Structure 1
Amino acid sequence: MSETEHPADAGVTEVSELDEDDRLKPEFVRAVLDAVEDGDVERARDLVEPLHPADIADLFELTGHEDRASLAHALSGLVDGDVFAEMNDYVREDLIDALEPQEVADLAAELDTDDAVAIIEDMDAADQREVLRAMEPDDRAAIEEALSYPEESAGRLMQRELIAVPEHWSVGDAIDYLRHNEDLTTDFWEIFVVDSRHKPVGTCQLSWILRTPRGIAIADVMKREQTLIPVDMDQEEVALRFQKYALISAAVTDASGRLVGMITVDDVVHIIQEEAGEDALLLSGAGDGDINEPIRDSYTARVRWLIANLGTALVAATIITMFEGTISKMVALAALMPIVAGVGGNAGTQTMAVTVRALATNQLTRSNTWRTIRREIAVAMMNGLTVAVVIGTAVGLFYANPLLGAVIATAMLGNIILAGLSGVVVPLTLERLKLDPAVASSIFVTMMTDSMGFLVFLGLASASGLVG
């Protein structure tokens, strides 16, 4: 995400265009679209020109697919690289498809490498080649190198525009270099110090340089302790390091330890938000969960999990069929079965959500696995006892049948304990098998709580002599 100030700080966005939550007002969006529809391009541009790039991106996201091309045509010149960098991925792809390769190349040239890669990486291979051929050689080489790294890695995320100086320089040498070299990036607050092999040996904040006499060696001012990011590190792990060590920026190194780029906190904030939302959506089987996602893609992502859930439901139905005779003799069992399974399912979901989050944030590791399992079982036992007493008492009084109350209480206790155990063991097992625990955990946990809930409840009812 490009480094841009908030509209409230910039002082360029009229208050009437945004509501109290800094979102574009519906009447403003409608006014812009009406102007475009009426052919009043000048009016549309006058309305949009004061907006911050992020707000212009929001305008396109709030516009229907069928109107985006005409809106982009009317706002030609205002929709620059900064706007594209702020856009939702699906909306950006929608607009990129309508542009010529040279236009995409011109947009990418305006951006930092990481933002340019975000625009180009999702294009078809043939379109990528066309765009890259239209770019300047230096820009093309940087983007081709970034595309050679795995998706969602530090190599894709990093910026190549940075300031690096040799460790033998003085502070004065660094200041002169910054003042007289017009080709340097203009947005930075930290200088990286490298040795003769271009390996990072320290960092120096601009404030330290400005407050230090020119004759002092840069090596005497710099901070030698730094967090280095391997170029192939997954972006989620990068975000965790920034969070753990409170980083503003960090050097990215290749396999030989040479400095090849940097990652800044504004990029990481975006990744933290993206990864947190991704895990929540994977748990629900909702795919990307983006309201701008094409309908067919949403259907494909969701239906496979619904089919998988159908399979687990059939397992539960098979268990019910096994006790068909027992249920027919006591209708109350049919009414109470969903309670046992439903509460157990909710308990399992709670534990599973906590476990998946702990795995994602590196709170749960091999060193504390058993302690975590024991903790979740203890919580499940306490919850189970509480719910069992409540449901057992209520059922026993309502049906005037203490034995039925005892059976459902025992089944509820057992199912909640099983739910707590499966809610932590299933994600852990998937993680040990190198599978994403957020993707498939809910399927297995639901199957366990539903099937075992029915089995324990109906099995106890048969074995206890409750049904004659």
Structure 2
Amino acid sequence: MVDETPLHEDDVMLAEPSVEEGRPDDRIDDERMDEENNLKPEFVRAVADALEDEDAQAVYDLVEPLHPADIADLIELMDKEDRAVLAASITDLMSGEVIAELNDHVREDMMEALPAEAVAQIVEQLETDDAVQLIEDLDEADQRAVLAEIELEDRIAIQSALAYPEETAGRLMSRELVAVPEHLTVGDLIDYLRDSSDLPDEFYEIFVVDEKHHPVGTCALSWIMRAPRAIPLADVMKRDQTLIPVTLDQEEVGLMFQKYNLISAAVVDENERLVGQMTVDDVVHIISEEAGEDALLMSGAGDGDINEPIREAYSARVRWLVANLGTALVASLIIAMFGAAIEQLVALAVLMPIVASIGGNAGTQTMAVTVRAIATNQLTRSNTRRILWREMRVALLNGATVATLVGIATALIFTPQLGGVIALAMVINVAIAGSAGVLVPVGFDRLGQDPAVASSVFVTMITDSMGFFAFLGLAVASGIVG
């Protein structure tokens, strides 16, 4: 029987953290880690030399003190052909924690090199969401082979998650949670938590459900520990809660956690039944992944992963460069229209890149703000006009400032008339850039496309083309050239 005698404050002693539980930079000595908690080049070379000498024991002795996250970093730092050899030298150190920390491309290569039985053993060490992330990268045949080696209960949970679309709450949620009926008292719940052997390793919130397994409230562990045993859960639970549909996109999940300050949230199926939970540690990864993804999509750099196979990196990047080539031809055609004017006044050719460059930068600034506003739900259909007008005003102020500086410099170096022309062209192009920076991403979003994907290509085309057209057209219209 558990002694429930209350402890006096003086009887409670705070445990000193052990070396193993200390800060990350206390895990191992300075021979392996630098001041920024990264593996030192000398240590990585020592491991590589031991692998080259086929000294498996030396490799193991070097790697054994490392934290799982640092072992994952070490594997990623190795050449591709050395990774499997390293893994074979430290077999019992290749825990699920190490695999979960690996880069997606590196993990995929590692899993393909291991037999299905070995992958299944790793999968069974992982939480369901991490196991799903590992298996979803395998091809269909390998998935079937691995799943056949996994225990039935785990197999059903993983197959259920794989049935949901990628990057949705159903694919990413954890099925390890604590759910109890609402008729329990606080004492009943505490006894259940103490006696049950089938609880998650870590949890912070209790989900309260009705007879149909619909979530009706939540109880933080801190509330349970402070409430008298006789109090019904219905009296202490929080009834207002944020429910996440299984089909909700991961980006929307991240926004919900950010907006409502959540630590965890229930995931429900189409019948409003509790099927899992999302926790803040999962959402941190989601937010980081989405932020990096948007930045890379805007540049057309694909995954932007240094471990991505060269063929995939080439395929992802070259199509946007080809598209950019096509849009650049539009600007070239406009320049060709004013070829005779440029021949008469070489200064036009000297100044054209300035107009296009400033317009392009202004458009990129506005586009970055717009894409972020769309991603965070700050820009919606209800405020698009207001945001457009705001960015137009910002663009006009920026354009006037830069135009004044460029106009004065051009007037001093060339002629006052040419200075006035380039100043006016600059204002026009920056104003157009501000509009394009909002309208192009919003247009993609309205069409159901990711606004970050190709916005930069089209915004650049618009700013370059209109910049050249405005500058050269004004030069001809003003009579500077015939």
Aligned to 1:234: 249
Contact 1:194 1:200 in 2 (8 A): yes
Q: Shift in Å at residue 58 of structure 1?
A: 0.6
- DSSP 3-state at the match of 1:261: strand
Root-mean-square deviation (Å): 1.3
Cα distance 1:237–1:460, how it changes in 2: closer, same or farther (>3 A)?
A: same
User: Could you tell me which of 242, 253, 276 is aligned with 2:291?
Assistant: 276
Aligned to 2:79: 64
Q: Shift in Å at residue 306 of structure 1?
A: 0.4
Cα distance 1:209–1:10, how it changes in 2: closer, same or farther (>3 A)?
A: farther
Q: Give the partner amino acid of 1:425.
A: L
- 1:192 is aligned to 2:196: no
Q: Give the partner amino acid of 1:21.
A: E
Contact 1:162 1:262 in 2 (8 A): yes
- DSSP 3-state at the match of 1:161: coil
Aligned to 1:285: 300
Q: Which moved more, 1:12-21 or 1:110-119?
A: 12-21
Q: Distance in 2 between matches of 1:12 and 1:388?
A: 57
Aligned to 2:58: 43
Q: Give the partner amino acid of 1:82.
A: E
Task: Name stretches of at least 5 consecutive residues in structure 2 with no aligned partner.
Answer: 1-19
Q: Shift in Å at residue 333 of structure 1?
A: 0.5
Contact 1:17 1:28 in 2 (8 A): yes
Aligned to 1:312: 327
Q: Which moved more, 1:327-336 or 1:40-49?
A: 40-49
Aligned to 1:12: 27
Aligned to 1:126: 141
User: Could you tell me which of 118, 143, 151 is aligned with 2:158?
Assistant: 143
Contact 1:347 1:419 in 2 (8 A): yes
Aligned to 1:95: 110
Aligned to 1:410: 424
Q: What does the per-residue CA deviation read over 1:79-103, in whole Å, with 9 as the maximum and x for residues that have no partner?
A: 1111111111011001001111111
Aligned to 2:16: none
Q: Give the partner amino acid of 2:465.
A: S
Contact 1:14 1:50 in 2 (8 A): no
User: Could you tell me which of 457, 460, 463 is aligned with 2:474?
Assistant: 460
- 1:421 is aligned to 2:435: yes
Q: Shift in Å at residue 15 of structure 1?
A: 3.6
Aligned to 1:389: 404
- DSSP 3-state at the match of 1:51: coil
Q: Shift in Å at residue 162 of structure 1?
A: 0.6
User: 1:103-252 counterparts in 2 under 5 A?
Assistant: 103-252=118-267
Contact 2:25 2:37 in 1 (8 A): no
Contact 1:169 1:217 in 2 (8 A): yes
Q: Distance in 1 between matches of 2:86 and 2:21?
A: 24
Q: Give the partner amino acid of 2:421.
A: V
Superposed structure 1 runs of 4+ greater than 4 Å apart: none
Q: What does the per-residue CA deviation read over 1:411-449, in whole Å, with 9 as the maximum and x for residues that have no partner?
A: 111000000010001101110111111001111101100
Give TM-score, length-normalised by structure 1: 0.97
- DSSP 3-state at the match of 1:437: coil
Q: Distance in 2 between matches of 1:173 and 1:11?
A: 41
Cα distance 1:383–1:49, how it changes in 2: closer, same or farther (>3 A)?
A: same
User: Could you tell me which of 53, 77, 81 is aligned with 2:96?
Assistant: 81
Q: Shift in Å at residue 37 of structure 1?
A: 2.1
Q: What does the per-residue CA deviation read over 1:21-55, in whole Å, with 9 as the maximum and x for residues that have no partner?
A: 11111111111222222222222222212211111
- DSSP 3-state at the match of 2:166: coil
User: Could you tell me which of 285, 309, 331 is aligned with 1:294?
Assistant: 309
Q: What does the per-residue CA deviation read over 1:301-347, in whole Å, with 9 as the maximum and x for residues that have no partner?
A: 00000000100111111111111111101111011111111110010
Q: Which moved more, 1:85-94 or 1:36-45?
A: 36-45
Give TM-score, length-normalised by structure 2: 0.94
The count of corresponding residues between Structure 1 and Structure 2 is 463
Q: Distance in 2 between matches of 1:114 and 1:104?
A: 15
Q: Distance in 2 between matches of 1:462 and 1:256?
A: 68
Q: Distance in 1 between matches of 2:416 and 2:52?
A: 72
User: Could you tell me which of 362, 374, 384 is aligned with 1:369?
Assistant: 384
Q: Distance in 1 between matches of 2:231 and 2:282?
A: 33
Aligned to 2:373: 358
Percent identity, please.
65
- 1:54 is aligned to 2:69: yes
Contact 1:7 1:13 in 2 (8 A): no
Q: Shift in Å at residue 11 of structure 1?
A: 4.5
User: Could you tell me which of 272, 275, 285 is aligned with 1:260?
Assistant: 275
Q: What does the per-residue CA deviation read over 1:155-192, in whole Å, with 9 as the maximum and x for residues that have no partner?
A: 11100011111000111211121111212222112111
Q: Distance in 1 between matches of 2:263 and 2:433?
A: 41
- DSSP 3-state at the match of 1:262: strand
Q: Distance in 2 between matches of 1:176 and 1:184?
A: 13
Contact 2:173 2:278 in 1 (8 A): yes
Q: Distance in 1 between matches of 2:140 and 2:474?
A: 61
Q: Give the partner amino acid of 2:313.
A: S
- 1:437 is aligned to 2:451: yes
Q: Distance in 2 between matches of 1:254 and 1:13?
A: 45
Aligned to 1:303: 318
Q: Distance in 1 between matches of 2:381 and 2:401?
A: 31
Cα distance 1:454–1:398, how it changes in 2: closer, same or farther (>3 A)?
A: same
Q: Distance in 2 between matches of 1:386 and 1:184?
A: 63
Q: Distance in 2 between matches of 1:367 and 1:6?
A: 50
Contact 1:7 1:52 in 2 (8 A): no
Q: Distance in 2 between matches of 1:364 and 1:6?
A: 44
Q: Give the partner amino acid of 1:20.
A: E
- DSSP 3-state at the match of 2:379: coil
Q: Give the partner amino acid of 2:311.
A: R
Contact 2:168 2:248 in 1 (8 A): yes
Q: Shift in Å at residue 142 of structure 1?
A: 0.2
Q: Give the partner amino acid of 1:119.
A: L
Aligned to 2:360: 345
